[in-house]
Amino acid sequence: MKRPLTVIANWKMHKTRHQAGQFIKTLETLIPCNHSDILIAAPFTALETCLNERSGLTVGAQNVSEHTQGAYTGEVSAGMLADLGVKFCLVGHSERRMHFHETQEQIGKKVKRCMEQGIHVVLCIGETFEEKKHGLTHKVLFHQITSALSGLEAQDLSNLSLAYEPVWAIGSGYAATAVDVQEVHASCRHFIKKNWGEKIGESLKILYGGSVNGHTLGPIICSYDVDGVLVGTASLDPTEFANIIKISRELKS
């Protein structure tokens, strides 16, 4: 099955409103942006600026509260994001699991809060180097998927993508090999099919993230079960990010 390509920039805690606006203006001069295949996960403070650019890029958040509303100082709800016009949200990124001790339970709630508001979820999963070394990759990933998606029906998953991001590959300069990525993606797809049905498993987009750049991208994006990439460091520079989009579009067309 041919699944549409998705390339996501994860800016993490980078870019002021001015820098975000400049990035989008520059990107538009480098590549056609009137496609829904380019997504920008911006910091909360730059979301409105990105949306106001009216660029054809899809704009999303990097995090959301697991609560709907209330006395949760500093939190941002899915309803607030939807009100801004935000279309998608990263959930369960390993930096949030690691530095902010996000639990599987919180991640599951965040997935549901987004879905209630019609916000597309990009669920990030990934194993640590220790877990990989001990042959636990599949066990860890299947557990992360099961706990984040518990109680959801197949139709709910039509508003979700998976992003496989091995923790050891993020920001390290060492991307996983294309062979390993294909194998992991195929087994995650198989797991989804087994638990939620053949149809949703076949159409579900599975992205790869972790040290993706112009050099590491080629063999990975060519793999059958890789439907796109989630790019951190290399998404901060518009020229580098445009190059990643160009290569991805060429190799996936």
Under rule CB under 6 A, residue 6 binds ligand PGA: no
Q: What is the rounded CA–CA span in Å between residue 160 and residue 153?
A: 12
Nearer to ligand PGA, 142 or 174 (CB): 174
165 is known as an active-site residue:
yes
Among 51, 170, 176, 181, binds ligand PGA (CB under 6 A): 170
In the complex, what is the shortest distance from the CB of residue 46 to ligand PGA, in angstroms, rounded to a whole number?
17
Residue nearest to ligand PGA (CB): 232
User: From CA 79, how far away is CA 109, in angstroms rounded?
Assistant: 14
Instruction: Decide if residue 212 touches ligand PGA (CB under 6 A).
Output: yes
Closest CB 163 distance from ligand PGA, rounded Å: 7
Number of residues that make up the chain: 253
Is residue 86 involved in binding ligand PGA (CB under 6 A)?
A: no
Residue 48 annotated among the catalytic residues of the structure = no
63 binds ligand PGA (CB under 6 A): no
- Quick one: three-class SS letters along 171-231? CCCCCCCHHHHHHHHHHHHHHHHHHHCHHHHHHCCEEEECCCCCCCHHHHHHCCCCCEEEE
Name residues contacting ligand PGA, limited to 171-190 (CB under 6 A).
171
CA 169 to chain centre: 15
Please tell me whether residue 216 binds ligand PGA under the rule CB under 6 A: no
Of 200, 171, 169, nearest in space to 3 by CA: 200
| C-alpha dihedral (95, 98, 102, 108), degrees to nearest 10 | 70
In the complex with ligand PGA, the residue whose CB is nearer, 175 or 200, is 175
* Catalytic residue ranges: 93, 165
Chain residues that interact with ligand PGA, rule: CB under 6 A = 10, 165, 170-171, 209-212, 230-234
